[in-house]
């Protein structure tokens, strides 16, 4: 049954769109609605066969997971000093996720909807050892060794007041009942804990490309947030957003330009990702990269990290 009201603020949708599945070139069509109050765009009806759009070759199922590098006892003893130094000097993009929080190596971290667990394995190798993941859609529990495990569990099955940091790395947009999911996150966090939400954001790229914006990703993305709507969601579930960092890339232009030409992101036969170098010159990609960085600086990028604090 179609949803008629916004899942975030319960306002009736004022405008409808039809978006196509384009990542795999299926081109199936789906109805979305736009909320006139908080501005987000949401799928009106989640497909009953949604698993069709998460085939075995979907990105999170095929991601490369790094080999864990166990540190010596001495190295672990001085890891706090090392992490502080890394915060000051490192340009590691994984470390950038936790840098705004100043998280220490003994922090208890859970990555929600983590797939094969590439992110938590990277964090382990940086120096965070009290780390785990959960994904209710994996076939079975995954054990990477050294205590790094991924459980096949729903958030409701996990203990309260347990974690210092929860991570939703491009996961929230795939969730239907977002208010309930964030209430569960609030329950799982210790007081003062943080939920890091990385999501696409309706911004300049949407204004330019509309139906061809690559981050629409119908039907997998159920909710495309605005900055206003994610703040409303945080308020509704008890969180306070203390920092927002825009981190979009040239992908917002490259993928959208391909969609405008009717070209999917993956080859329908091999399922391999297209090479942007086959469609854009080095100069074009460099220019679009610079434009993306400027949009981030202007808070107009099409992706952002939101740090939701349990106060």
What is the band of 88 on the pLDDT scale with cuts at 50, 70, 90?
A: low
Averaged pLDDT, 57-64: 85
Give the per-residue pLDDT at 154: 94
Q: Is residue 180 part of a domain?
A: yes
Q: Is residue 195 part of a domain?
A: yes
pLDDT above 80: residue 263 = yes
Contacts of 123 (CB under 8 A, 6+ apart): 94, 98, 109, 131
Kindly state the percentage of the chain with pLDDT values over 70.
Answer: 93
What is the band of 89 on the pLDDT scale with cuts at 50, 70, 90?
A: low
Q: Is residue 5 part of a domain?
A: no
Task: Enter the pTM of the model.
Answer: 0.93
Tens-place pLDDT, residues 300-310: 999 999 999 99
Q: Give the separation between CA 257 and CA 62, rounded to whole angstroms.
A: 25
Q: Is residue 205 part of a domain?
A: yes
Q: How many domains does the chain have?
A: 1
Give the per-residue pLDDT at 61: 82
Burial of residue 85 (number of CB atoms within 10 Å: 0-12, 13-18, 19+) = exposed
Task: Tell me which DSSP letter residue 225 carries.
Answer: B
Q: Which domain holds residue 298?
A: 15-310
Q: Is residue 194 part of a domain?
A: yes
Closest CA to 205 of 221, 216, 218: 216
Q: Is residue 154 part of a domain?
A: yes
Q: Give the separation between CA 259 and CA 282, rounded to whole angstroms.
A: 20
**Domain harbouring 121, CATH code:** 3.40.50.150
Q: Is residue 6 part of a domain?
A: no
Of the listed ranges 27-31, 53-57, 81-85, 127-131, the least confidently predicted one is 81-85
Q: Is residue 8 part of a domain?
A: no
């Amino acid at each position: 049954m179609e949803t008629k009201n916004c899942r975030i603020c319960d306002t009736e949708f004022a405008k409808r769109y039809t978006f196509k599945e384009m990542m795999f070139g299926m081109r199936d069509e789906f109805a979305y609605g736009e909320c006139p109050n908080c501005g987000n765009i949401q799928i009106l009806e989640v497909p009953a066969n949604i698993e069709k759009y998460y085939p075995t070759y979907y990105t999170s199922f095929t991601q490369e997971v790094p080999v864990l590098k166990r540190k010596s006892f001495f190295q672990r003893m001085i890891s706090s000093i090392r992490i502080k130094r890394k915060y000051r000097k490192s340009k590691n993009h994984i470390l950038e996720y936790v840098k705004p929080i100043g998280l220490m190596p003994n922090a208890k971290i859970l990555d929600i909807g983590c797939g094969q667990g590439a992110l938590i394995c990277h964090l382990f190798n940086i120096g965070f050892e009290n780390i785990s993941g959960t994904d209710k859609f994996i076939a079975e529990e995954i054990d990477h060794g050294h205590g790094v495990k991924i459980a096949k569990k729903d958030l409701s099955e996990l203990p309260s007041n347990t974690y210092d940091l929860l991570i939703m790395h491009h996961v929230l947009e795939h969730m239907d009942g977002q208010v309930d999911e964030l209430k569960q996150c609030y329950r799982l966090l210790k007081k003062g804990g943080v939920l890091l939400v990385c999501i696409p954001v309706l911004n300049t790229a949407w204004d330019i490309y509309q139906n061809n914006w690559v981050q629409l990703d119908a039907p997998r993305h159920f909710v495309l947030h605005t900055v206003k709507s994610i703040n409303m969601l945080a308020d509704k579930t008890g969180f306070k957003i203390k920092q927002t960092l825009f981190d979009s890339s040239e992908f917002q232009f490259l993928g959208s330009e391909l969609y405008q030409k009717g070209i999917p992101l993956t080859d329908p036969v091999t399922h391999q990702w297209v090479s942007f170098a086959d469609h854009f010159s080095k100069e074009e990609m460099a220019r679009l990269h610079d434009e993306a960085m400027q949009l981030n600086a202007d808070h107009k990028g099409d992706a952002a990290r939101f740090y939701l604090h349990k106060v």
